[in-house]
Chains A and B, each alone.
Chain A
Amino acid sequence: MNDYANIWLHRLKWTYLLLVVLTLMTPVIYVMYISFNANGFGANEYVFTMEWYGLIFSDELLIGALRWTLMLAVVVTVVTVPMALLAAKYYKAADNKLFPVFLLLAPLFVPPDILGSALLVFFKNLNFAFIWFGDQMRTSLFDSWFRLSFLTATIGLIIYTIPYSFVVILITMGRYRPEQTEAARACGANGWRAFWDIEFPQIRAGVFSACSFTVILVFNEYTRTSLLKGGFDTFTTVLISQMLNTGMSEQSYAMSALVSFIAIAVIGSIILATMLRAETLSRVARAKAEPVMS
């Protein structure tokens, strides 16, 4: 706030900001609140308990779904983020930027139901084609390549998450000066070494943010996953299935709250660490900036 700003306008801005955050977080806080109620959702009486958290790990359905979700998240992140990084590097170097950015962001503009159904039909036909090809070759080697499975869900999620990762990495890359890569090359580093020693440390925050974002997106995604997953369940498909059929179990509330706690703790720690580091660096810079007598 500068010296001439209106104090009430300043307070109004902060109130607005807090209201936005509260609106966004209230449903999550409500789920956390229910997760500690011994009588579950909708009960007249609220009795605090930690029991549901203890029961999470005995709920085979939830733990199995969580395991599949984590596996999907890891595989999708490992594939998506390097692909997005390469795409961002290509984009930065490209003369015509409109075409690559259109290609990369196009999946964002296709509604999830349509993209999921399109991929479902595509994989089914691809599966038939592979089976036919195997039959011609008199082998069953190609029979299950594109049957709905972990692979098809992974491909669907990669298509879904790449645009987000690309944008997140590109934002961090925007501040990177290509002269530094050239300077590294002039110092004798080959292309990979220049990237690893000079560029990567400066875009690392973007790459890690893209990883976190991809994991969250995989946890969050329902439509494409449910259409392409084959014979296993993810955390979201279990929760939505429960809500549509019997209502969420108390363990599910506890699991949702636990995942939210972990996500908030991780993101909060990153923000806190970044702020503390910035403060330390600025203190060191101020100390060093004292004139050196020579």
Chain B
Amino acid sequence: MTDQKAPAVDVRNLSKHYGDFVALRDVNVTIAAGEYFVLLGPSGGGKTTLLRTIGGFHKPTTGEILLNGQSVGHLPPDKRPTTMVFQAYALFPHMTVTQNVGYGLKVAGLPKDEIAEKVDYALEQVGLSQFTHRKPHELSGGQQQRVQLARAIVLDRDILLLDEPLAALDAQLRKDMCLELKHLQEKVGITFIHVTHNQEEAMTVADRIALIANGNLIECGNARDIYRAPDKAFTASFVGENNMLRGKVSEANGTSVIVDVAGSKLTVDKRGLSVRDGQEVDLSIRSECVALDPVNGTNTPADGVSIVGSFHESVYLGLTTSHMVRLPDETEMVSRVIADSDDSLPAAGAPVRLSWKPSDIRLHVD
């Protein structure tokens, strides 16, 4: 019997080994019913392994997976309340769009007229009503992924697993499909678990994001927190465009610490973390929070929220421009601004000051 109050997915102490290789290490995560949950991380980090283990395509080495409160470790994929959208090549090429979408219903033994009705509705949901008689090779990449979506949602399962569903699409189509996925999830109201290595895609669709790398679940939180206030250094380095600075704690008293970075003393909120004098720590500051000013006689002296370096170059990226600055220890920092004028740029090698608000810099001790 399904527990109505239980989370849609509850992963407990899950590990997956392939011989000596550890694909997942002691992963714990809970996903609520109706949530759009994204597994984000670099390639080979273990996110697809986790998704496929939830779907029943891999058996855990240790640990347990509960779907709707029921342990499903012993169940094959076809007996789980899940269905899946694959990256590509997963449509049945010898079947038409209608046959593809209706396949699961046919397997379930539904009457033909009921299948036809449900298939029509699912195709309408994904905007493919006019392509019913086409074979997969007669569809574009985006249309093929929509057929996969229709084939999955028509089954009325509780959990939809999406394994890099947009990876094979071009950039513009991916953006459009992201929004479509989000709207579809809101419409059907079931749990979506979406694997991607693309942070923009993750940010667009996710209610919550779990960052997975090297087989570990690094951090889990809502999309805004993961972006604006990453807890771990890895999260800061992977999500957004953060400047990562390595330094040594020179003073750790009260609620803030002073960290020596490239000859400057930076003041950082301690965030309740346990640090001691002399400890090596990481600091992160999002590049869009960093302001760049030339150093001249009017510049204020070192104040704990700025650092001096030499201007290196500017890279125009359309919407934004990134200014690269080299610190005395050769660390490169980036200041990203919404501007496309390069009239007032310092000369290469000129001294510049990078500054930020005290709340924009974060301390990481992992």
Pick from B77, B89, B151: contact of A179, CB under 8 Å: B89
Bound-state CA distance A91–B131 (Å) is 37
Bound-state CA distance A188–B155 (Å) is 9
Taking the nearest CB of chain A, how far is it from the CB of B133, in angstroms?
8
Q: Which of the segments B23-31, B78-86, B248-256 contacts the partner chain? A: B78-86
Bound-state CA distance A49–B135 (Å) is 53
Bound-state CA distance A185–B90 (Å) is 11
Residues A288 and B90 in contact, CB atoms below 8 Å apart: no
Residues B92 and A180 in contact, CB atoms below 8 Å apart: yes
A294 contact set on B, CB distance < 8 A = 130
Given A187-B104, A198-B92: A182 and B78 interface contact (C-beta under 8 Å): no
Residues B94 and A182 in contact, CB atoms below 8 Å apart: no
The answer, yes or no, to whether A244 is at the interface (CB within 8 Å) is no
The answer, yes or no, to whether B263 is at the interface (CB within 8 Å) is no
Q: Which residue of B lies closest to A285 (CB)?
A: B138
Pick from B55, B88, B92, B93: contact of A186, CB under 8 Å: B55
Q: Which residue of B lies closest to A183 (CB)?
A: B90
Taking the nearest CB of chain B, how far is it from the CB of A171, in angstroms?
17
Residues B90 and A177 in contact, CB atoms below 8 Å apart: yes
Taking the nearest CB of chain B, how far is it from the CB of A46, in angstroms?
51
The answer, yes or no, to whether B228 is at the interface (CB within 8 Å) is no
The answer, yes or no, to whether B76 is at the interface (CB within 8 Å) is yes
Q: Which residue of A lies closest to B94 (CB)?
A: A201
Q: Which residue of A lies closest to B87 (CB)?
A: A179
Pick from A177, A186, A201, A202: contact of B82, CB under 8 Å: A186
Pick from B78, B108, B161: contact of A185, CB under 8 Å: B78
Q: Which of the segments A101-109, A189-197, A264-272 contacts the partner chain? A: A189-197
Bound-state CA distance A202–B89 (Å) is 13
Pick from A187, A191, A198: contact of B83, CB under 8 Å: A187
Pick from B82, B83, B131: contact of A292, CB under 8 Å: B131
Interface size on A, residues (CB 8 A): 23
Residues B94 and A183 in contact, CB atoms below 8 Å apart: no
Residues B103 and A197 in contact, CB atoms below 8 Å apart: yes
Taking the nearest CB of chain B, how far is it from the CB of A174, in angstroms?
14
Residues A193 and B107 in contact, CB atoms below 8 Å apart: yes
A201 contact set on B, CB distance < 8 A = 94
Q: Which residue of A lies closest to B88 (CB)?
A: A179
Residues B107 and A189 in contact, CB atoms below 8 Å apart: yes
Taking the nearest CB of chain B, how far is it from the CB of A191, in angstroms?
8
B271 contact set on A, CB distance < 8 A = none
Taking the nearest CB of chain B, how far is it from the CB of A9, in angstroms?
34
A191 contact set on B, CB distance < 8 A = 76
Within 8 A of B (CB), among A118-165: none
The answer, yes or no, to whether B134 is at the interface (CB within 8 Å) is yes
Residues A187 and B90 in contact, CB atoms below 8 Å apart: no
A183 contact set on B, CB distance < 8 A = 84, 86, 90-92, 148, 151
Residues B78 and A188 in contact, CB atoms below 8 Å apart: yes
B91 contact set on A, CB distance < 8 A = 180, 183
Bound-state CA distance A184–B152 (Å) is 11
Bound-state CA distance A196–B148 (Å) is 20
A188 contact set on B, CB distance < 8 A = 78, 104, 107-108, 155
B103 contact set on A, CB distance < 8 A = 184, 187, 189, 197
Taking the nearest CB of chain A, how far is it from the CB of B193, in angstroms?
13
B56 contact set on A, CB distance < 8 A = 185
Q: Which of B57, B76, B93, B155 gathers most chain A CB within 10 Å?
A: B93
- Per-position binary interface string of chain B over residues 84-128, scored 1 when its CB falls under 8 Å from any chain A CB and 0 otherwise: 101111111110000000011001100000000000000000000
Taking the nearest CB of chain B, how far is it from the CB of A259, in angstroms?
34
Bound-state CA distance A237–B90 (Å) is 50
B133 contact set on A, CB distance < 8 A = 288
Given A182-B57, A182-B84, A288-B134: A190 and B93 interface contact (C-beta under 8 Å): no
Residues B76 and A190 in contact, CB atoms below 8 Å apart: yes
Residues B86 and A187 in contact, CB atoms below 8 Å apart: no
Q: Pick 30 A–B contacts, CB within 8 A, sort by A.
A: A177-B89, A179-B89, A182-B57, A182-B84, A183-B86, A183-B92, A185-B56, A185-B57, A186-B55, A186-B77, A186-B84, A186-B152, A186-B161, A187-B78, A187-B155, A188-B78, A188-B104, A188-B108, A189-B78, A189-B103, A189-B104, A197-B92, A197-B107, A201-B94, A202-B93, A285-B135, A285-B137, A285-B138, A288-B133, A288-B138
- Taking Cβ atoms with an 8 Å cutoff, the residues of A that contact B are 177, 179-180, 182-191, 193, 197-198, 201-202, 285, 288-289, 292, 294
Q: A182-B86, A185-B78, A292-B130 are in contact. List 16 more A-B contacts (CB 8 A).
A: A179-B90, A182-B84, A182-B90, A183-B84, A183-B151, A186-B83, A187-B83, A187-B103, A188-B107, A188-B108, A188-B155, A189-B104, A189-B107, A190-B76, A288-B134, A288-B138
